[in-house]
Amino acid sequence: MKIVQYAERGNPVDVVKVLEVDAPSAGPGEVVLDVLASPINPSDVLTVTGDYGILPPLPAYCGNEGVGRVASLGEGVEDIAVGQQVFLPVGAGTWRQQITAKAAEIVPVPPGTDPLQMAMLTINPPTAYLMLRDFVRLEPGDWVIQNASNSGVGRYVIQLAAAQGAKSINIVRRAELADELKAMGADAVVVEGPGMSKEVREITGGAPVKLGLDAIGGDSTLALGDCLTDDGVVVNYGLLSGEPCKLSSAATIFHDVTLRGFWLARWFRNAPIGERMAVVTEIAGRIATGELVAAVDSTYDLDHISDALARSMAGSRDGKVLVTPNGPIDSQV
């Protein structure tokens, strides 16, 4: 079978290679899965370049989430059927044609749902869901503000906030994104720049803004923090600028704004399996009903993985790039 590997860190287009290896077999309590689809996330790219928070030893395999179809069962496996669609193990190197998984940790994909949408479920949507849930108690009508609003996580934040009745202010760098984000449920879209905090106060009418979600770092964190009100919390979950997070003295001293961090890998490591499955199952239900939708830019097979990586890093793309190791899959959205 084919599998994607890299033996050195650097530009993913240059260092990622496709290898032919022996197909896996299912041991006791395991299943073998045919990989249907797996997205290329920013964390995948940063891991290959060596800029992510945790780096695997080399050589390493690429891919951290996706959807597969059960191909074979190991000894003692019950209640799982060959042909059933399930979520791939998180962080297991999913850009490959087949992968083994522990049967006890398998989470089924809701029947009749779009595998491309489900393939993007286990990283971006839980990140958005948990940041909205775990740092500030948001009641209907409360405001949340975020940067990188056009990102995968940002778009899920917009949809999840609207679903719970919260209002979102969405910072962008291109004004032409406003109509598209508002159509998804964004209450307000502002262009990052001088005077942004005043514009935010005008939008909210002075109402509290207690939660800010930051994927960028640097001066963008600073600008976001200045938009929060007393006892606000900035939750940093990314470093797209490559710069450390900043908060102004006005935010920290006069408004007691605090900075927290969120890393989904740590949450998965520490949360009991029952809680992990509950979060994934709830989000899967929302995707199944169409409440949560992510744009798909394109799909690529493993023979064109360099093209897929180049496209995923292009600023002009419209949605997520996915790898489909066993052939193309039609999206149902």
Give the residue numbers annotated as catalytic, written as ranges: 52
Rounded distance between C-alpha atoms, residue 127 and residue 279, angstroms: 11
Quick check: helix, strand or coil at residue 17? strand
CA–CA separation, 203 and 154 (whole Å): 19
Q: Is the dihedral of CA 126, 131, 135, 139 positive or negative?
A: negative
Give the closest residue to 95 by CA, choosing from 46, 47, 35, 8. 35
Query: Cis omega before residue 89 (within 30°)?
Result: no
Cα→Cα distances 172→106, 191, 192, 224, 296, Å = 38, 5, 6, 12, 20
User: Both tokens of residue 269?
Assistant: 């490591």
